[in-house]
Amino acid sequence: MSVMPIDKYRPVQTVALHDRQWPNRVIDRAPIWCSVDLRDGNQALIEPMGTDRKQRMWDLLVRLGFKEIEVGFPAASQTDFDFVRHLIDNDLIPDGVTVQVLTQSREELIRRTFDAIRGAKRAIVHLYNSTSTLQRRVVFGLDRDGITEIAVRGTKLIKELVPTVPETEIVFQYSPESFTGTELDYARDICGAVLDAWQPTPQHKAILNLPATVEMATPNVYADQIEWCHRNFARRDSFVLSVHPHNDRGTGIAATELALMAGADRVEGTLFGNGERTGNVDIVTLGLNMFTQGVNPELDLHDVGDIVRTVEYCNQLPVHPRHPYGGELVFTAFSGSHQDAIKKGFAAMEKSNSGLWEVPYLPIDPQDIGCSYEAVIRVNSQSGKGGVAYLLLTDHGLDLPRKLQVEFSQVIQKLADETGKEISSKVIWHEFEQEYLVPGRVEVIGHTTLPTGRGERHIEAQVRIDGVEKTIRGEGNGPLNAFVDALKREIDIDVDIADYREHALRSGSDSSAATYVEAQIGGKTLFGVGIDSNIVMASLKAVAGAVNRGLRKAAA
Ligand SMILES: CC(=O)SCCNC(=O)CCNC(=O)[C@H](O)C(C)(C)COP(=O)(O)OP(=O)(O)OC[C@H]1O[C@@H](n2cnc3c(N)ncnc32)[C@H](O)[C@@H]1OP(=O)(O)O
Ligand SMILES: CC(C)C(=O)C(=O)O
Ligand SMILES: [Mg+2]
C-alpha cells in the first residue's frame, strides 16, 4: 500500500528495439546546435523579453557561435514580429547564421510568418502540430488522418508561399509536437506525409524535429525512439534529424546525449536550460560535457560567467548555484577529503607537467571556462587540514609541513564548530598570525654568528624578553642550535628541535623565507613559524615562536 495515488499513473510504452545500436556508440562530434532561447525560452518567462533583452540574447548567441537561432513566433505577438523585422531590416544577421521562426499549422499564422521573414537571406520556417494520442483526443478531437491533414495542409501552404520571398532561401522544419506521447508508426506516417508534400532532396534537406515536448520516460526510451525513427523513416538522406528535449524528469541532458548516440544530427535547446516547466535541454552543459571528453563543442564557451550574467539579465531568472558548469558553487569543495585530494591533484599535475587535466573532483579546469581557482576550496566545519593548507599556500605562499597542517587545522576546526559559519581565507590568515606570528614573551631583534674554531657556531642574539632588551649567547653546530643553547643558558628554557623545514615564500614582492620548527618544549610538541627576508632570522623567529607558544600554553 502506498500513501501516494499510484493508480493514477501508467508507465510509458517501451520500444521493441531488440537490436538497438546506440549503447555501443560514443559522441565524437558536436551536433548542429539551434538555440531556442528567444522562442521556447522566452514563451516560458514570467516577463517575456522586450526588444532590449532580445537583442542582448541575440548578440550573445551569435558571439557563442550558434548558426541556427529560433528568434520567435512572429505570428504570436507584435514584439516577436517586430524583433524579426528589426534583425532583417537592420542587417543584423551575420553571414552563416540562419534565423528560425515557429508557426502553428494555421493559414493566417503561416502567412504572417512569411511577412516577418521577407528579406532575410535564409530562414528556417518551423511548422508544428501536436500528434500525441492524448492531444489528438482532448485538444483536437481528431483521428490520425485528421491530424495528418493539418500538418500536410500547412506544409503545402508554406511550399506555395516560398516563391513570394524570392530573395530568401527557405529551409522547412516540421515538428510532430508531443512526439514522446505519439505511437512510433504514426510519427513515421505523419512525417512521411509531410515530407511527401515538401519533397526534400539530399541537397536541400528538410529538418524533422522530434521533441520530447514533455519528458515522459527514462532517457533510454527516448534513445530507442530516436534510433527507431532514424532507421525506419523514409527519405533519411533528405532530412536532418533534430531533437528538442525538455527536462520534466530531470534527465534532459542524458536523453539528449543518448539521442545523439542514437542518430540525431541536431539539437534544439537553451542556455542553462530555461524553458517551459523544468526547462529545455541546456546547451551549455551539453557542449561542456563534450569538451570534457576532448570533443570540440563548436561553441565558444570559454567565458561561462559572461553567459550566466547575460542569461540572468535576459530571462530575469537566476542560474542555480549548483547548475553544472555555470553555478557559483560548482567548483567549490567544502569537505575535507575532497580538498585534500584536490590539493594533491594540483601538486601532482604541476610535477608531471603532462598537459592533461587530472584533478580529483574537478571534471573540468575552471580556468578553461573563465573561472579562477579562488573558489575551489572554501573552509567550514566539514573541511580538513588540506583545505586550510591549500588557502595558506595559494594566498600566502606558505607550504606547511604535514604535522603543522594537522596542528593548525584544529584551531580552524574549533572556530568553524563554534561559529557554524564558513571561515574565509582572511580569517584563516588572521588566526595563523595570532597563533604563530605575533610576538610573545621572547622576541628576536637581531643576531650575529661567528665560527668558534671548534667547528661550531657562536651566536650573539639581541632579544626582547618580557619587554626587556638583552643579548644572549650560545654555541651549537649551527645558528639554530646555538640559539637554542643561548635560550637554555640565559632564560632556562629547555627546547629540543625535532624537525626543521624552510622554503622561499612563493608569493610576495620580497624574497622572504619561511621556516618551520617542530620543537619539544616542556614535554610538549609544538610548532613555531618564522618569516623573514633573512633565512637565519626566520629560523630564530620560528624557535622563539615555538617557545612563546609553549609559555602561553603553560600559563593557560
Ligand atoms: C510545445 C510548444 O512550445 S508549442 C509553441 C507554443 N507557443 C505558444 O503558444 C506561444 C505563442 N502562442 C500564442 O501567442 C497563441 O497561441 C497564438 C497567437 C499563436 C494563437 O492564439 P489563439 O488563436 O488565441 O489560439 P490558441 O493558441 O488558444 O489556439 C488554440 C487553437 O489552435 C489550434 N491549434 C493549436 N496548435 C495548433 C497547431 N500547431 N496547428 C494548428 N492548429 C493548432 C487548437 O486546436 C485550438 O483550436 P480551437 O480554437 O479550434 O479549439
Ligand atoms: C514547438 C515544439 C518543437 C516545442 O517547443 C516542443 O515540442 O517542445
Ligand atoms: Mg519546446
CATH 1.10.1220.20 correct for 336-436: yes
Residue 1: predicted pLDDT: 78
For the chain, give every domain's residue range: 29-315, 336-436, 439-555
Cell, residue 142? 481528431
pTM of the shown model? 0.91
Residue 452: predicted pLDDT: 83
- Please choose from 104, 126, 129, 156 the residue to mutate so as to test ligand 1's pocket, defined by most ligand atoms within 8 A of CB: 104
Residue 508: predicted pLDDT: 54
The answer to whether the CB of 40 is under 6 A from ligand 1 is: yes
Sign of the alpha-carbon dihedral angle for 78, 84, 87, 89: negative
For 156-200, how does the pLDDT look when each residue is reduced to its tens digit (9 = 90+)?
999 999 999 999 999 999 999 999 999 999 999 999 999 999 999
Residue 236: predicted pLDDT: 98
- Average of pLDDT values for 282-302? 98
The answer to whether the CB of 68 is under 6 A from ligand 1 is: no
- The number of the ligand 2 atom at minimal distance from the alpha carbon of 209 is 3
One-character DSSP codes across 247-276 = -TTS-HHHHHHHHHHTT--EEEEBGGG--S
- Average of pLDDT values for 256-284? 99
Cell, residue 150? 493539418
For 473-499, how does the pLDDT look when each residue is reduced to its tens digit (9 = 90+)?
999 999 999 999 999 998 888 899 999
Query: For residue 421, how far is its CA from the centre of ligand 1 (angstroms)?
Result: 52
Order of strands across the sheet with 468-476? Answer: 442-451, 457-465, 468-476
**Cβ atoms < 10 Å from Cβ of 174:** 30
C-alpha count within 13 angstroms, C-beta hemisphere, residue 318: 5
- Average of pLDDT values for 79-90? 98
Q: Do the Cβ atoms of 111 and 81 come closer than 8 Å?
A: no
- The number of the ligand 1 atom at minimal distance from the alpha carbon of 213 is 1
Burial class (CB in 10 A: 0-12, 13-18, 19+), 454: exposed
Q: Do the Cβ atoms of 423 and 510 come closer than 8 Å?
A: no
The amino acid that residue 44 corresponds to is A
The residue whose CA has the least distance to atom 45 of ligand 1 is: 140
The residue whose CA has the least distance to atom 47 of ligand 1 is: 140
Which of 98, 93, 99 is closest to 72 using CA atoms? Answer: 99
- The number of the ligand 2 atom at minimal distance from the alpha carbon of 214 is 8
Residue 335: predicted pLDDT: 93
Query: What's the rounded Cα separation, in Å, for the pair 386 and 404?
Result: 11
Residue 491: predicted pLDDT: 80
Helix locations, 51-179, DSSP H: 51-64, 78-89, 107-117, 133-135, 144-161
Which of 399, 292, 396 is closest to 343 using CA atoms? Answer: 399
**Cβ atoms < 10 Å from Cβ of 498:** 12
Q: Which CATH architecture has domain 29-315?
A: Alpha-Beta Barrel (3.20)
- The pair phi, psi for residue 425, each rounded to 5°, is -60, -35
Q: Between residues 208 and 374, which one has the greater pLDDT? A: 208
Torsional class of 222: left (φ above 0), alpha (ψ -120 to 50), beta (otherwise): alpha
Q: Between residues 317 and 492, which one has the greater pLDDT? A: 317
Residue 556: predicted pLDDT: 78
- From the CA of 128, the nearest ligand is 1
Query: For residue 40, how far is its CA from the centre of ligand 3 (angstroms)?
Result: 5
Bridge-based pairing of strands 457-465 and 442-451 is antiparallel
Task: Give the confidence band of 529 by pLDDT, cuts at 50, 70, 90.
Answer: very high
Torsional class of 235: left (φ above 0), alpha (ψ -120 to 50), beta (otherwise): left
One-character DSSP codes across 312-380 = HHHH--PPPTTSTTTSTTTT-B-SHHHHHHHHHHHHHHHHH--S---BTTBSS-GGGGT--STTTB-BS
Query: For residue 213, how far is its CA from the centre of ligand 3 (angstroms)?
Result: 5
One-character DSSP codes across 489-536 = HHH---EEEEEEEEEE-SSSSS--EEEEEEEEETTEEEEEEEEESSHH
The answer to whether the CB of 40 is under 6 A from ligand 2 is: yes
Q: What share of the chain is helix, strand, coil (3-state, %, to 5)?
A: 45, 20, 35
Residue 273: predicted pLDDT: 98
The answer to whether the CB of 245 is under 6 A from ligand 2 is: no
Q: Do the Cβ atoms of 55 and 85 come closer than 8 Å?
A: no
Query: What's the rounded Cα separation, in Å, for the pair 426 and 413?
Result: 15
Burial class (CB in 10 A: 0-12, 13-18, 19+), 511: exposed
Q: Mutual orientation of helices 425-432 and 385-396 as an angle, nearest 10°?
A: 90
Query: What's the rounded Cα separation, in Å, for the pair 273 and 32?
Result: 17
Residue where the block lists cell 522530434 = 210
The residue whose CA has the least distance to atom 4 of ligand 2 is: 213
Cell, residue 216? 515522459
Q: Do the Cβ atoms of 482 and 543 come closer than 8 Å?
A: no
Look up the ipTM and state it: 0.97
- Please choose from 70, 105, 106, 128 the residue to mutate so as to test ligand 2's pocket, defined by most ligand atoms within 8 A of CB: 128
- The number of the ligand 1 atom at minimal distance from the alpha carbon of 105 is 40
Residue 511: predicted pLDDT: 63
- Average of pLDDT values for 30-52? 98
Cell, residue 171? 529551409
- Average of pLDDT values for 37-54? 97
Query: For residue 342, how far is its CA from the centre of ligand 2 (angstroms)?
Result: 42
For 112-161, how does the pLDDT look when each residue is reduced to its tens digit (9 = 90+)?
999 999 999 999 999 999 999 999 999 999 999 999 999 999 999 999 99
Task: Give the confidence band of 506 by pLDDT, cuts at 50, 70, 90.
Answer: low
The answer to whether the CB of 140 is under 6 A from ligand 1 is: yes
Task: Give the confidence band of 510 by pLDDT, cuts at 50, 70, 90.
Answer: low
List, as residue ranges, the binding site for Mg(2+): 40, 244, 246, 280
Task: Give the confidence band of 523 by pLDDT, cuts at 50, 70, 90.
Answer: confident
**pLDDT over 70 at 413, yes or no:** yes
Query: For residue 104, how far is its CA from the centre of ligand 1 (angstroms)?
Result: 6
Q: Collect all residues with Cβ–Cβ distance below 8 Å to 6 and sequence separation of at least 6.
A: none
Q: Which CATH architecture has domain 439-555?
A: 2-Layer Sandwich (3.30)
Residues in the chain: 556
Which of 110, 121, 127, 64 is closest to 87 using CA atoms? Answer: 121
